[in-house]
Amino acid sequence: MSESGSAREAPRSKRGRATRAALLQAGRRVLERDGFVDAKIADISAEAGVAVGSFYTHFRDKDDLFAALVEETTAVMLHPGVAEVARDADPATMIADANRAYLESYRENAKLMALLEQVAAIDERFRKLREERSHAFHARNAAAIRRLQRSKMADRAVDPDIAAIALSAMVSRAAYGAFVLEVLDPDVDRLADTLTRMWVNSLSIKSHGT
Amino acid sequence: MSESGSAREAPRSKRGRATRAALLQAGRRVLERDGFVDAKIADISAEAGVAVGSFYTHFRDKDDLFAALVEETTAVMLHPGVAEVARDADPATMIADANRAYLESYRENAKLMALLEQVAAIDERFRKLREERSHAFHARNAAAIRRLQRSKMADRAVDPDIAAIALSAMVSRAAYGAFVLEVLDPDVDRLADTLTRMWVNSLSIKSHGT
Amino acid sequence: MSESGSAREAPRSKRGRATRAALLQAGRRVLERDGFVDAKIADISAEAGVAVGSFYTHFRDKDDLFAALVEETTAVMLHPGVAEVARDADPATMIADANRAYLESYRENAKLMALLEQVAAIDERFRKLREERSHAFHARNAAAIRRLQRSKMADRAVDPDIAAIALSAMVSRAAYGAFVLEVLDPDVDRLADTLTRMWVNSLSIKSHGT
Amino acid sequence: MSESGSAREAPRSKRGRATRAALLQAGRRVLERDGFVDAKIADISAEAGVAVGSFYTHFRDKDDLFAALVEETTAVMLHPGVAEVARDADPATMIADANRAYLESYRENAKLMALLEQVAAIDERFRKLREERSHAFHARNAAAIRRLQRSKMADRAVDPDIAAIALSAMVSRAAYGAFVLEVLDPDVDRLADTLTRMWVNSLSIKSHGT
DNA sequence: AATGAATGAGGTTTCATTCAT
DNA sequence: TATGAATGAAACCTCATTCAT
């Protein structure tokens, strides 16, 4: 993975920007279709309708294109969070909203998400980048869980760090099962309801008023 | 993945068996070290101390070697299960045992498990094979959850299929975090305790006598 | 080398002349730094702060730029000569002066001289050009030597043509050793003294009055 | 240039050795014909009658092949020496022998020598390797000159280090002029006589008995 | 004159697989 | 069975040069 964002400087001309955009779109199509390993630069260029050399005018290599692609869709890398939970009247509602939002954006970008899994599994640099981003969420979630535990609104026998990771995994894996593997009913409401229920249950979260 | 298990018939001579074993061991080392994509047949052969040609005497290709490698360690492919839960006096104990067993075998084979993630992400055939095996577990777990729900020992608002997948994910991802990424304390007891607690909580499982 | 000198006609506008000058300066820097083979048009343009296309407004190709560069510094292409020797009272003084002048201009342009060696080694056209220029000097020097031999002021056992080349080589290689390879003390006086002494000795030149 | 000698391990089989030899021979032909820069791996392989891939079985790259080629002909890299001069009755004879030997081996390998000039001009690593080798000769020659000076058999006004380099240059450049550029009569005897005469004269070497 | 993106031929290198010994 | 050299398809990437703006 390149340090951050795209390696080549942004195109100065209108034509340059158009070509870059075409390559991104083509790259997404081809990568999603062939997988990261099997996607060829030549195929991406052809799909974009430009010469191979033009690929290199805009990107250093496949990694670089992929990084740009992910950056474009950064939002979907966000994990579901309970971060704000303790500050609100109803933790369960917050969790439900976060889960639903995550599931929806996952569904919108299911193929890219699958690609993400793939690249993270293969490429150490990208795996690290992803873990760093996840870490922030996990830390916030773990902190939120600790807060709930201190105010006796959550099961104190649960380790907050483990729980934070486990709950994220629960949601993202269910999304993967529903939208990528398609072994689960892709109904967002049903998914969100069950996952939220399990999330709340697993920590034995009590509502404020309870 | 090869059609069915290892491609070549079992070596007849003692020498043949020794070479095959050396290749398996070398293959594991090299694959774990370099990743599936970057591992070269030549490197594996060199590591095993045999000529490249000999690789093909024993395996059809890298996939084939990998399949054999996984077969060798089939046990670790088992997913945590609540399958037996309903038949026993204490579901929580069964879950705890299953989780602990899974975590322990994961820890013993952490690098191979990471490799498994990788190959499943890349190779469709292997991904399917893995999903099929997982499916059996998920189905059994879902059935167990349904049974508990029918006897009012589990939260009926939870979708059993989603839950089965989500709970597996929770455990395996925590194992990944602990033993591969090393972002979690690798203490099996603490992991098992928290995961079991969350698992039981998430379904609101009540003990028989409760 | 281009057919004859620089390919493009001299720039008419003030702006054009400035760009051309910037390219020449940048070209010299980059060629000296990267060597003729590795220097890229793009690097030269960047160094000059102009677009790649502008390079071609002013030069046909790298050869053309290089030719212009050399033309600029024609003086250093002069070889040491004893051409005037016989017409003067003291041949040794003339040789000493010529050698010193050559060594000094070599020192001033050491990097360009190294570049010259390089291009002459690679590019046949340039090698020929260089040989033609050298030839004039060698011929003049050989003629001078013959004259000295006829007036019994030089060793008649020495072949004038071989000597002319050998003596040039002696001086230019010493300059190369001192200013490019830096394996000799770069003190021009010491170099000139020794070389002149060897030169005079090698031909057994006798002073007029001797 | 590779560290030293060829990068790949020596071929184990007879066939391997034959292919390697064929590649060396073809490499020499093609490099001499096209020059180092323009010679293509594909051409060398074709000339050797093997597939491109086979080139890489035996050599890391063009540099590597070239290094092996030079190693094969190491003798011709030797510079003419006066090293033994002082120990013998007649310094002039020693110098004459050394010069003649050098000129003859240069003539035998003229094209490779031209190639050597070329690569040394282009490739820093090889230039350094060559300078290191030359250095040993220059040092020995300089030492010999110092010895002659101490016993008053040579002109003390001449700097031995400069002289050592200058004299080597004289001989090798004359050889280049005769056998590569062909601007000098390639008669080894005449060359040797003149060069030896100049060499002896330039240092004002006196014979033992004189 | 200047710009800078587009082009694509051309070369390098890798490596799974084959096969004669 | 083992060996290890040979093969050549396949990808990658570079960069001189062109050209529309």
Distance from CA of A209 to the nearest CA of B (A): 20
Q: Is the C-beta of residue A209 closer than 7 Å to nucleic acid chain E? A: no
State pLDDT tens for residues C166-182. 999 999 999 999 999 99
C68: tokens are 């212009």
pLDDT band at C6 (very low <50, low <70, confident <90, very high): low
Query: Which amino acid, A47?
Result: E
State pLDDT tens for residues D186-195. 999 999 999 9
Provide the positions of strand F that have an atom within 7 A of a protein CB: 1-21
SS3 of residue C202 by DSSP: helix
SS3 of residue A189 by DSSP: helix
Instruction: Give the range among A40-49, A80-89, A114-123 with minimum mean pLDDT.
Output: A80-89
For chain C, give the mean pLDDT: 87
pLDDT band at A71 (very low <50, low <70, confident <90, very high): confident
Q: Looking at residue B22, what is its pLDDT?
A: 98
Given CB atoms, is A201 within the 8 Å cutoff of chain B? yes
Residue A62's nearest CA partner among A76, A43, A75 is: A43
Instruction: Give the range among B188-197, D79-88, D142-151, D164-173 with minimum mean pLDDT.
Output: D79-88
Q: Looking at residue C50, what is its pLDDT?
A: 98
**Nearest CA to the C1' of E16 belongs to which residue?**
B41
Chains B, C in contact: 3+ Cβ pairs under 8 A? no
A129: tokens are 């980048």
Q: What is the mean pLDDT of residues B164-186?
A: 94
Please state, in angstroms and rounded to a whole number, the distance separating the CA atoms of residues B8 and B55. Answer: 11
Please check whether residue B155 is in contact with residue A195, taking contact to mean a CB–CB distance below 8 angstroms: no
Q: What is the mean pLDDT of residues D6-11?
A: 80
pLDDT at B1 over 50: no
The count of other CB atoms within 10 Å of the CB of residue B142 is 19
Distance from CA of A46 to the nearest CA of B (A): 24
Q: How many CB pairs under 8 A join A and B?
A: 127
Query: Which amino acid, B146?
Result: R
Q: C58 φ, ψ to 5°?
A: -110, -25
Q: Which residues 77-96 of A have a C-beta within 8 angstroms of B?
A: none
State pLDDT tens for residues D97-116. 889 988 998 998 899 989 98
Please check whether residue A202 is in contact with residue A164, taking contact to mean a CB–CB distance below 8 angstroms: no
pLDDT at B200 over 90: yes
Given an 8 Å threshold on Cβ–Cβ distance, is A37 in contact with B122? yes
Given an 8 Å threshold on Cβ–Cβ distance, is D191 in contact with C163? no
- Give the nearest nucleotide to A14, CA to C1': E5
Cβ-Cβ contacts under 8 Å for C98 (sequence gap 6 or more): C80, C81, C82
Residue B196's nearest CA partner among A205, A194, A163, A174 is: A163
**Nearest CA to the C1' of E4 belongs to which residue?**
C51
Given CB atoms, is A167 within the 8 Å cutoff of chain B? yes
Please state, in angstroms and rounded to a whole number, the distance separating the CA atoms of residues A143 and D41. Answer: 62
Q: What is the mean pLDDT of residues A147-162?
A: 94
Instruction: Give the range among A63-72, C173-182, D84-93, D120-129 with minimum mean pLDDT.
Output: D84-93
Q: How many CA atoms lie within 13 A of A147 on its CB side?
A: 15
State pLDDT tens for residues C125-148. 888 888 888 888 899 889 989 999
Rounded to whole angstroms, the distance from the CA of residue A79 to the C1' of nucleotide F21 is 46
Distance from CA of B14 to the nearest CA of A (A): 37
Residue A60's nearest CA partner among A20, A15, A33 is: A20
pLDDT at B86 over 70: no
Q: Looking at residue D93, what is its pLDDT?
A: 87
Q: Looking at residue B134, what is its pLDDT?
A: 86
Please state, in angstroms and rounded to a whole number, the distance separating the CA atoms of residues A24 and D94. Answer: 74
Q: Where are the alpha helices (DSSP H) in chain A?
A: 14-38, 41-48, 52-58, 62-72, 91-108, 110-122, 124-150, 160-175, 188-202
Q: What is the mean pLDDT of residues B152-181?
A: 94
Cβ-Cβ contacts under 8 Å for D207 (sequence gap 6 or more): D90, D91, D92
pLDDT band at C68 (very low <50, low <70, confident <90, very high): very high
State pLDDT tens for residues A124-153. 888 888 888 888 889 988 999 999 999 999
pTM, two decimals, is 0.89
Q: Looking at residue D4, what is its pLDDT?
A: 47
Residue D175's nearest CA partner among D187, D159, D166 is: D187
Exposed e or buried b for every residue in C51-61, given b needs 16+ CB within 10 A?
Answer: eeebbeebbee
pLDDT at A3 over 60: no
Q: Which residue has the higher pLDDT, B44 or D208?
A: B44
Please check whether residue D203 is in contact with residue D148, taking contact to mean a CB–CB distance below 8 angstroms: yes
Following CA atoms C17, C21, C22, C23 in sequence, which dihedral angle do they give, to the nearest 10 degrees?
Answer: 100
Q: Looking at residue D125, what is its pLDDT?
A: 87
Q: Looking at residue D56, what is its pLDDT?
A: 98
Please state, in angstroms and rounded to a whole number, the distance separating the CA atoms of residues A206 and B8. Answer: 59
Identify all chain B residues contacting A122, using CB atoms and an 8 Å cutoff: 35, 37, 118, 121-122
Q: Which residue has the higher pLDDT, C75 or A2?
A: C75
Percent of chain C whose pLDDT exceeds 70: 86
Instruction: Give the range among A30-39, A86-95, C157-166, C194-203 with minimum mean pLDDT.
Output: A86-95
- The set of chains that have 3 or more CB pairs under 8 A with B is A
Please check whether residue D77 is in contact with residue D133, taking contact to mean a CB–CB distance below 8 angstroms: yes
Exposed e or buried b for every residue in D89-125, given b needs 16+ CB within 10 A?
Answer: eebbebbbbbbbbbbebbbebbebbbbbbbbbbbbee
Distance from CA of C12 to the nearest CA of D (A): 37
Given CB atoms, is C75 within the 8 Å cutoff of chain D? no
Residue D85's nearest CA partner among D201, D200, D168 is: D200
pLDDT at A83 over 50: no
Instruction: Give the range among A180-189, B198-207, C89-98, D168-177 with minimum mean pLDDT.
Output: C89-98
Residue B199's nearest CA partner among B177, B175, B169 is: B169
Q: What is the mean pLDDT of residues D19-46?
A: 97
Q: Looking at residue A87, what is its pLDDT?
A: 53
State pLDDT tens for residues C14-63. 999 999 999 999 999 999 999 999 999 999 999 999 999 999 999 999 99
pLDDT at A48 over 90: yes
Q: D194 φ, ψ to 5°?
A: -65, -45
pLDDT at C95 over 80: yes
A200: tokens are 């709340």
